[in-house]
Amino acid sequence: MISLAIPTLNRANFLQQLLNSISIQTSKNFEVCISDNASEDSTEEIVKQFTIENPEILVKYYKHHQRLPFDRNLAAAARLATKPFLWIMGDDDRIDSNAIECLNSYLRATNYSTLLLNYRDWNYEFSKCLKTRFFQNKTDNLVATQSDLIEISGFFFSFMSCHVVRADLWDKYAVEKAFELQDSIHMLVPLMAATQGQNGYLATPLFDKRSSRLDMEYYDSIDIVPSWHQSINSLIEHGVSKKTCDLFFKEYINDWHCSRDVLGKKLRNSKYYLSNRKYLATHYSRFPQYWFKVWPIFWTPVWILKALKKVKAASSSSSKANCTALVF
């Protein structure tokens, strides 16, 4: 019933932990599709060893010779899939031993186009569970609308591993030109697929999410404002309500990711606001949160932002030194 689509890049140790959790599944009715984005570590060897040790699990692995943008590597993993449903899986997470069995049961008994999955939130080292239930809604097997899904998950609808999508709908929508060369295809396609039939939400967590350390240089390189403008237009064209788009965009502005994105881009390009004023006026400025959280960053001179960044860095270093002194 399910294809696990796993895009990966130079995270062999994390991928090993994910594969370990996959190897102990109580149901073997699934396949593993891994798209390796030209990794330079031991990823290939780990996958080969996994296939040898688990011959009963169908594994499809393709290693690219050149580095691809994130969306294309994810799409490449999805193209390897042949099962009716696609579970988009982060290479640094791990799934419960009965996760596939539970999903197969739900999917056979329903007519869902998409499933939103709850999860447990762990620290980076997987040594401490931070939240035993990340989404607080406790209604299991809830039939949900597009807006319901956003209200349940908020900004974290954008988290890759919490989506299961009908494979035919993924194939239909993943080719959208508006989604190219950005990092949101794993969220935008499920949102479009949610317009086609019923959608479900599973409140019982089925996997563990690792709190990752973000690659800020990568995130700063994505010009999120014009890409959002194009993507939202495409979502509306394909039946996603403007209310749902606005609801998610409101959650995005409320979340710290928005301020981080804007701050990083402003530090790299002092005229960032002026170069994107059309898109900003179209989407950002319609939300009250914009004027308090985003607008000040756009208009604050870069030299002040850099000075504040240095002060914050110095303060963090001082705090760490004080903690070390207390320990010893």
Q: What is the model's pLDDT at position 37?
A: 93
pLDDT tens-place string over residues 97-131 = 999 999 999 998 888 999 999 999 999 999 999 99
**322 has a pLDDT exceeding 90:** no
Between 77 and 187, whose confidence is greater? Answer: 77
d(Cα 200, Cα 142) in Å, to the nearest integer? 5
Flag whether pLDDT at 324 surpasses 50: no
CA distance 37 to 64: 5
Query: By percentage, how much of the chain surpasses pLDDT 90?
Result: 44
Where do we find the tokens 């967590």?
205
Please tell me the predicted confidence (pLDDT) of residue 285: 64
Identify the pLDDT of residue 327. Answer: 41
Task: Please indicate whether residue 281 or residue 87 has the higher confidence score (pLDDT).
Answer: 87
What are the structure tokens assigned to 291, written together? 């004027």
Would you give the DSSP letter of residue 294?
I
Average pLDDT over residues 7-12: 94
The rounded percent of the chain whose pLDDT value lies above 70 is 77
Query: Residue 26's closest CA among 94, 92, 86, 96?
Result: 96
The residue among 37, 244, 282, 289 whose CA lies nearest residue 144 is: 244
- When computed from its CA atoms, the radius of gyration of the chain, rounded to whole angstroms, is 21
Domains of the chain: residue spans and CATH: 2-213 (3.90.550.10), 219-306 (no CATH)
Element (H, E) at 142: strand 142-144
With residues binned 3-state (H G I as helix, E B as strand, rest as coil), the percentages for the chain, rounded to 5, are 55, 15, 30
Higher pLDDT, 256 or 235: 235
What is the widest separation between alpha-carbon atoms in the chain? 61
Residues 192-222 have pLDDT tens digits of 888 888 899 999 999 999 986 654 444 444 4
Q: What is the pLDDT at residue 165?
A: 95
Higher pLDDT residue, 148 or 187? 148
Flag whether pLDDT at 157 surpasses 50: yes
